[in-house]
Each structure stands twice: as C-alpha cells, then as structure tokens.
C-alpha cells in the first residue's frame, strides 16, 4: 500500500480504470489493492469516492458485456480459455455452471468475489442465452457491489491502511518477500494437486473406442452420465442406456448405481 497510494496520487483515476480492466479481461492481476487505496484516498479527501465507484463499475461492466457477447457466439471456447488462467482449471467450468444452475442471474451479484469465477460468469451468461436486459441489470448491480465493497473498506479503514503501510516501510522488504513466498508455495501446492489429479484420471481413463468395444463384447457395464441439468438441456443426446445423474445429485442418488457392474462415468 505504501507504494500504491503515492502512485495513485500522481497518476490519477486512469490507474484504477486500467487495473480493473486488466483483471476483468481474465488476467491474474488483482485490482483490490488499487480499489482499497482509492477508497483510502477518498476518505482523506484526495480523490472522489463517487467518481472512483463510477469508473470501476463502468469499466467492469464494459469488460463483462464484451465477454457476454463472446459467450453467445463462442461460449464453450471462451469459457474454457478463461478457466485455464485460473488456479483451478479442472473445476472452474463445472463450478461456474453449478453456480448458475443454482442461482441463475443473481449469481452475477457475487461472482466477482469468488476466485476464478468473476471473469467466467459473463460468458456463461451469454452461453445460456440469458436475456440482455437481465444480464445488464444483474451485472451492473454486481459490479457496483464489488467495486463499492473494496472502495468502502478502504474508505472506512484508511487510518489502519496508513499504519500498515508505515509498518511495511519500517520493516523493509522482509514482509513483501514473505508474502511472495507464501503465494509461491500456495500456487505450487495447487499445481501439484492438479498434476496428481490428472495422473489419476489418466490411470482410470477409458477412451470412447474402448467403451464401445466393452459394450459390443457384452461386458456388464453401466454408464453414468454426470452432466448437469443445464448441459443436458443444451445437448440432450446421451449414450445408449446411460443413467443420467446430475453431478450435484450424486450424493443423494449414488445408490441407484449398481455396484456389481463395471462403472463408467462421463461428463462434458
């Protein structure tokens, strides 16, 4: 914060616009430090809270409208691309779809607070053919809530932020190095988990050709379709004889799966 605030004092609101824009197009560059700093400056009388809120909200909405339109034309491709940038690429798509299946348009009110889902929510809204007017209302409210929350926190705790900046300045680079180290360890752990998960999938993976041979040879196999309801509505075709159990209902309906047979699970 001790470096962010002087920089904002010198360069003005465009830093806020650029930072929010970069984050909302999907790059892993957090904007909450700048939002907090702008809120603190507003509390100190050096910047306008209302102007900062308006700029952050409009910038976030501009990016979201772009992703919404791309989602309508190239939804799956765009969604997969954005999720590859997150720390949870293997679950980002399913989590985002599950969020929309559960909440619908109101998911846009809080999606920006959920890591990995903020940028993916807008293209998914386009993919699911959400009416444009409903998207604009929900996304506008969500962008204002997101921007206002961080700006408001900076405004209310401006004195504490100044104290924290002074403490970091006195401590030197030790705190920064510690934070960078913890972040690196977290990312490394996530990467390890993902690689282990992929290795396990490769071991248990059955290719479509192999499954076809199993069926044709008379192998006693049960196929479980784990696609979510939203995915089935978009593409109702399923493998012959497959048992459809939505992933979110698996805990409640797992007893329907015969344990004495070979079980093959598939999803999109």
For the chain, give every domain's residue range: 4-171, 172-205, 208-266
Whether the per-residue pLDDT at 168 is higher than 70: the answer is: no
CATH architecture of the domain covering 208-266: 3-Layer(aba) Sandwich (3.40)
Whether the per-residue pLDDT at 123 is higher than 80: the answer is: yes
Q: Please write the tens of the pLDDT for every residue from 93-111.
A: 666 666 676 777 888 998 8
pLDDT of residue 97: 67
126/27 Cα distance (integer angstroms): 20
Query: Token pair for residue 252?
Result: 């409640």
Burial degree of 180 (CB within 10 A; 0-12, 13-18, 19+): exposed
pTM over 0.85: no
Q: How would residue 191 be classed by pLDDT, with cut points 50, 70 and 90?
A: low
What is the layout of strands, in order, in the sheet containing 243-244? 243-244, 221-225, 262-266
In eight-state DSSP terms, residue 32 is: H
138/125 Cα distance (integer angstroms): 11
Q: Are 122 and 60 contacting, i.e. CB atoms less than 8 angstroms apart?
A: no
């Amino acid at each position: 914060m001790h470096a962010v605030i002087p920089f904002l004092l010198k360069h003005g609101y465009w830093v806020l616009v650029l930072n929010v824009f970069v984050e909302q197009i999907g790059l892993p560059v957090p904007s909450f430090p700048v939002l907090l700093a702008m809120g603190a400056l507003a509390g100190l009388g050096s910047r306008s809270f209302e102007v900062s809120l308006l700029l952050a909200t409009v910038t976030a909405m501009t990016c979201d409208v772009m992703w919404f339109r791309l989602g309508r034309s190239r939804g799956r491709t765009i969604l997969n691309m954005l999720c590859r940038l997150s720390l949870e690429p293997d679950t980002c798509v399913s989590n985002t779809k599950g969020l929309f299946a559960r909440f619908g348009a109101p998911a846009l009110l809080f999606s920006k607070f959920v890591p990995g889902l903020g940028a993916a929510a807008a293209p998914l809204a386009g993919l699911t053919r959400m009416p444009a007017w409903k998207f604009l209302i929900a996304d506008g409210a969500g962008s204002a809530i997101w921007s206002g929350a961080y700006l408001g926190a900076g405004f209310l705790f401006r004195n504490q932020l100044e104290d924290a900046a002074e403490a970091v300045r006195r401590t030197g680079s030790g705190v920064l190095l510690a934070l960078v180290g913890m972040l690196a360890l977290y990312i490394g752990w996530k990467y390890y988990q993902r690689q282990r998960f992929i290795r396990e999938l490769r071991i248990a993976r059955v290719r479509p050709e192999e499954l076809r041979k199993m069926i044709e040879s008379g192998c006693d196999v049960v196929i479980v379709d784990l696609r979510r309801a939203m995915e089935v509505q978009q593409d109702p075709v399923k493998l012959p004889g497959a048992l459809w159990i939505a992933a979110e209902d698996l805990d409640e309906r797992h007893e329907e799966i015969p344990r004495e047979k070979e079980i093959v699970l598939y999803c999109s």
